[in-house]
Amino acid sequence: MYRVASASQYLVITGSGIDDIKIAKKAWVFPGQSCSVFDISPVNYTFEVMAMSAEKLPFILPAVFTIGPRSNDQESLHKYAKLISSHDKESNHMNELVKGVIEGETRVLAASMTMEEIFKGTKEFKKEVFGKVQLELNQFGLWIYNANVKQLVDVPGHEYFSYLGQKTQMEAANQAKIDVSEAKMKGEIGAKLREGQTLQNAAKIDAETRIISTQRQGQGQKEEIKVKTEVKVFENEREAEVAEANAELAMKKAKWAKDSQVAEVEARKAVALREAELQKEVEIMNAMTQKEKLKAEFLSKASVEYETKVQEANWELYRKQKAAEAILYEKEKEAEAQKATAEAALYARKQVADGELYAKQKEAEGLVALAQAQGTYIRTLLGALGNNYGALRDYLMINGGMYQEIAKINGEAVKGMQPKISIWTGAGGVGDGDGGDGQGGAMKEVAGVYKMLPPLFNTVHEQTGMLPPTWMGKITES
């Protein structure tokens, strides 16, 4: 049977001879095949999404989405035909599917933004929502043909947007009141200014003819004062540059110390400088007012005196400013030097402590190694002597020169004395063992040495309490 779909429809054919599905506008449907029709016209879905911002402030996002299958993409049509086409586009299933995707992406995005960011960047927020929703709908072969997000709405009990509107209205009303007050103030000031200018101009015209005649006399004095002032200013600038050069050298040596105290000092000095500037402005304004008045009353003399006072005041203010700046700079350098000195002392102490610690560690390691070596040496000797502690002690005393040291100490003790010396001989006397041959004479010497050992051992035992090794003999009690 030959089937033809309408303009907004497609045929879906499955069955014999078709591996998966076949989508076409018109086709032959053979026995063993099944054919169904699905509509691709988009459908409007209206929602009111409940979301919550990063500050946990809830709001409602009304939205209308026009969604349908993507007709110009074959892969999307296959996905839609396999997953969605069996359901009615206006059914509860489709409505819940689309609503779930939109609500999920909107809530996730809103939870990462503050309410202020959502409200000010509404356009970007909507664009981001559409993009994330489209990514999720792609897996179903659906396309957002149109989307309209309406104005954000407050949740009952959380009137954030209404309060925000009231805030904007109040700010506009307050600004309007401020503008009216400023306009009124400008009008009153302008009127007073015009009156003052009228009086000043009248007084100026009356006094100018008399001022010119005496102004020449004061001009020379003014120029002299001006030159002296400029010379003094130049000298102070040179002195400041020299001080700055000297301070720069100190600054390079103590560079890292200024952060600890400079902020507080700068704040105090900035306040002082600002007060001086404001005082200067006040004095200038007062002087200008006084000048006009004095011009009318005292003519050129008052003018000359006023100019002189202004120059003196300016010079005094300039001197105070430079002095304050020099004090501030000096305090900064002192703070930097103190910090650098403290850091250098700390580093030196740390290096000394590290050196002492390293020396102690190496000394301890040497003692441990020496003790281990001595332990190994003693264990080896003890094993070679058959675990005989007495033999080990005697060997260590002989090897360490203990007997020689004892003899030396005894010799020092009897030095200068006249001891009684005993000579031990054999039982046969001097001629004992004389056989007249060389062999007998050699054995005689050996026998004589051996006979000397018992009295020596007795003497050592009596003085030190130590016994000779068992392999050399035993001392018999007399």
For residue range 381-426, what is the model confidence (pLDDT) as tens digits? 888 888 888 888 888 888 888 878 888 887 777 676 655 454 555 5
Tokens representing residue 46 in the block: 């209206």
- Determine the straight-line distance between the first and last CA of the chain, rounded to whole angstroms: 144
Taking alpha carbons only, the member of 289, 292, 324, 291 closest to residue 309 is: 291
pLDDT digits (tens, 9 = 90+) for 187-232: 788 788 888 788 888 777 877 777 777 777 777 777 778 878 888 8
Helices (H), 150-261: 160-253
Return the minimum-mean-pLDDT range out of 90-104, 168-182, 263-277, 326-340. 168-182
CA distance 274 to 279: 8
Sheet hosting strand 22-24, strand order edge to edge: 22-24, 9-15, 33-39
What average pLDDT does the structure give for the chain?
77
Tokens representing residue 476 in the block: 């018999």
Neighbours of 141 (CB within 10 A): 23
pTM: 0.34
178, 225, 290, 314 from 221: Cα distances, Å: 50, 6, 20, 17
- C-alpha angle 343-345-351 in degrees, rounded to nearest 5: 100
Taking alpha carbons only, the member of 19, 9, 15 closest to residue 30 is: 15
Neighbours of 208 (CB within 10 A): 12
Neighbours of 234 (CB within 10 A): 10
CA distance 67 to 64: 10
- C-alpha angle 387-390-393 in degrees, rounded to nearest 5: 100
Q: What percent of the chain has pLDDT over 70?
A: 83
Confidence at residue 434, expressed as pLDDT on a 0 to 100 scale: 47
Taking alpha carbons only, the member of 299, 312, 294, 307 closest to residue 220 is: 307
Query: Is the pLDDT reported for residue 16 higher than 70?
Result: yes
Tokens representing residue 48 in the block: 């009111």
Q: Span 131-153, mean pLDDT?
A: 81
Confidence at residue 164, expressed as pLDDT on a 0 to 100 scale: 62
